[in-house]
Chain A
Amino acid sequence: MTALLTTTTPVAPPSPRRRGGGFLRSLLHNRKAMIGLIIFIVFTVLAVVPQLFTSVTEPNKLAFPPALPPSSEHWLGTTSLGQDIWAQLVYGTRQSLVIALVAGFFATVLSVLVGVSAAYLGGVADDVLSMIINVFLIIPTFPLIIILATYAGKGTLSVVIIVLIITGWSYGANQMRAQALSLRNRDFLESARVRGERRSYIIFREMLPTMTSLIVANFLGAALYSVLTAAGLQFLGLGDPNSISWGTMLYWAQNQQALQSGMPLWSLAPGCCVALLGVSFALLNYAFDEFSNPALRPVRRRRRAAA
């Protein structure tokens, strides 16, 4: 996930109130963003109304003959336990998407809170907060997640989400802090201070709107991280083995040696969905990166990076 975002200090956007129409338009004109958006919308529809796409209502029930090849009745065949793979895939969308969005959202909120307050408060508070950010950045998260998930009992949905939030916020916080620092002494904030605005007003109405694109990019990065990590956790069998999600499907497929026993679809299909959802977040993220740093936009003639 780290690698998807620029490591250079984000270029501060020009002025606080020139968003709106341009934002949406450049989103629609960016091919990468459009592909990412379409994938995301398809998965959202699958997650909201899975019953429209399959006649099976209980995808985990062992209702069919095991290990059927793909047919018109079972599009992707059945598992060696006798479940319809397509139905599991459709119903599994919901949990994977919920994990991504909820964990991504709260991790972003946390990184904005910590990052912006560190930059805004400055002094000792900044030292302490950046220390905490750096410690969390460096502690290897996945082993920590595995250990946490094990101790907390085989992860229910909420355990998985909480663990993802705890381990997923620090990268964004670091970026938020960098950008907030670069904004701190800008004139428009200075004038707000001179006007005698309250701190909360300055932070929420003046500072945060200028950081919108970075916040969105961060959310997408955190969501990507959550999708991949949650799938990895469930694949290792640290999720709830009875839940319906792509990661759990992968776990059972691995458990039943799906690749070796001629049912590659059982393993490939959910993995493909995880990858697609991940790609959708990554593409949107990349597009937003281009958006927040004009120097990176694909252009015919080179532009100078905004200083």
Chain B
Amino acid sequence: MRYVLRRLGFFVLTLWAALTVNFFIPRFMPGSPLQALRARTFNKLSPAALEQMLTAFGYKPDENIGVQYLDYLGHMFTGNWGVSIGSALGEPITKIVGQALPWTLGLVGVATVLAFLAGSVIGVLAGWRRGGTLDSILPSVFVVTSALPYFWVGLLLILVFSVWTGGWLPSDFNYDSSVQPGFTPEFIGSVLRHAILPGLTIFITAVGGWVLTMRNNMITTLAEDYIRMGRAKGLTNRKIMYQYAARNAFLPNLSGFAMSLGFVISGAILVEYVFNYPGLGYLLYNAVQNTDYPLMQVLFMLFTVAVLVSVLLCDFATAWLDPRSRAKG
């Protein structure tokens, strides 16, 4: 119980730190939404009119910074995220985010989890037979794939499977604009076809890291005494491999998985940009291009919350799976 409370405390503190950073960066940096908006409207509107518009959207530069800060914290928690001042001027941010979120979760979430699971299994196999064929080839291969830039793998896949094959697989957007959205086979097929290349990109670049860490954990675990004990008892290799070694080797990987989600998000931004995939990463790119401060703040907050929640979940999962971590308290 103490463990859970400590983790929750950490959760709240990190969230607060991230939100605070998020609040102060725009206020310490040069430039303001007002200037940005003026540049975008090509000075056609008077500054007063623009300021009035921004005020209507909840932009209050003259208010006491402390009050602004408290307001901001409150708004972040209540979901009162304001409206976009970017390309979708005046649109509520909840709506914009709501449209993009399922696509990112579906594409990036599924591809990442698949890469994690596949990588862990391959890592177990590679670590099991030291000096075997698998163990001598795979590490080098995966060291290489995990050092490849996400976007470049994406470009390569587009070139091979889309440009050279004359559009065999689609290289942008989430589904064909000619298909009506709905639960029809055409729509679902179109969505899946559009997800293949970006999903593959994430999978290729992410799987290597998991293979390597899992292999290394496996090797460390295999040197433990209880493995020797298992062998001495005459257990089958299969049983030792899966029930003794892999289960323990998997634990550090689990917390590593949560920690790595930050990197996954960064990859997702580039992948969504390359494939024009209308998810959260693409949204962030557009928000940055249009200096859409409210949208940027909300997105950054959401990314942080996503990572924090998964760290928390993995912590709890580890505590549940591994009695030792509970004992440490």
Q: Does B69 contact A (CB under 8 A)?
A: no
6 A–B pairs (Cβ distance < 8 Å), ordered by A: A3-B256, A143-B300, A146-B284, A267-B155, A296-B216, A299-B130
Q: Does B37 contact A (CB under 8 A)?
A: no
Are B163 and A264 in contact, CB atoms less than 8 angstroms apart?
yes
Closest residue to B210 on the A side, CB-wise?
A: A3
Q: How far is the CA of A298 from the CA of B252 in the complex (A)?
A: 22
Q: How far is the CA of A272 from the CA of B152 in the complex (A)?
A: 8
Interface-facing stretch out of A70-78, A108-116, A227-235: A227-235
Most chain B CB inside 10 Å of its own CB: which residue of A150, A264, A272:
A150
Contacts A137-B259, A138-B262, A143-B300: A4 and B146 contacting too (C-beta < 8 A)? yes
Q: What chain B residues lie within 8 Å of A228 (beta carbons)?
A: 147, 149-150
Complex partner residue of A139 from B155, B255, B270, B304, CB under 8 angstroms:
B304
Q: Does B209 contact A (CB under 8 A)?
A: yes
Q: Does A125 contact B (CB under 8 A)?
A: no
Are B149 and A278 in contact, CB atoms less than 8 angstroms apart?
yes
Q: How far is the CA of A1 from the CA of B265 in the complex (A)?
A: 13
For the complex, count residues of B whose C-beta is within 8 A of A.
71
Are A2 and B144 in contact, CB atoms less than 8 angstroms apart?
no
For the complex, count residues of A whose C-beta is within 8 A of B.
62
Are A278 and B147 in contact, CB atoms less than 8 angstroms apart?
yes
Contacts A3-B208, A275-B148: A232 and B266 contacting too (C-beta < 8 A)? yes
Q: Does A152 contact B (CB under 8 A)?
A: yes
Minimum CB–CB distance from A247 to chain B (whole Å) comes to 9
Are B223 and A139 in contact, CB atoms less than 8 angstroms apart?
no
Q: How far is the CA of A135 from the CA of B210 in the complex (A)?
A: 23
Q: What chain A residues lie within 8 Å of B219 (beta carbons)?
A: 295-296, 305
Are B29 and A7 in contact, CB atoms less than 8 angstroms apart?
no
Q: Interface readout for B194-212 with A: 1 if CB under 8 Å, 0 if not?
A: 0000000000000011101
Q: What chain A residues lie within 8 Å of B144 (beta carbons)?
A: 279, 282-283
Q: Does A151 contact B (CB under 8 A)?
A: yes
Are A139 and B209 in contact, CB atoms less than 8 angstroms apart?
no
Q: Does B92 contact A (CB under 8 A)?
A: no
Contacts A7-B256, A138-B311, A295-B219: A259 and B14 contacting too (C-beta < 8 A)? no
8 A Cβ contacts from A223-267 to B: 224, 228-229, 231-232, 235-236, 238, 250, 254, 259-260, 264, 267
Q: Does A142 contact B (CB under 8 A)?
A: yes
Interface-facing stretch out of B18-26, B48-56, B72-80, B185-193: B18-26
Closest residue to B291 on the A side, CB-wise?
A: A150
Please name the 9 residue pairs, one residue from A and one from B, whose CB atoms are nearest each other, closest first.
Answer: A3-B209, A142-B266, A151-B29, A271-B152, A282-B147, A278-B147, A140-B262, A305-B223, A140-B303
Q: How far is the CA of A146 from the CA of B139 in the complex (A)?
A: 32
Q: Does A300 contact B (CB under 8 A)?
A: yes
8 A Cβ contacts from B140-175 to A: 140, 143-144, 146-152, 155-156, 158-159, 163
Q: Does A304 contact B (CB under 8 A)?
A: yes
Q: Does A57 contact B (CB under 8 A)?
A: no
Q: Does B296 contact A (CB under 8 A)?
A: yes
Are B147 and A143 in contact, CB atoms less than 8 angstroms apart?
no
Are B148 and A278 in contact, CB atoms less than 8 angstroms apart?
yes
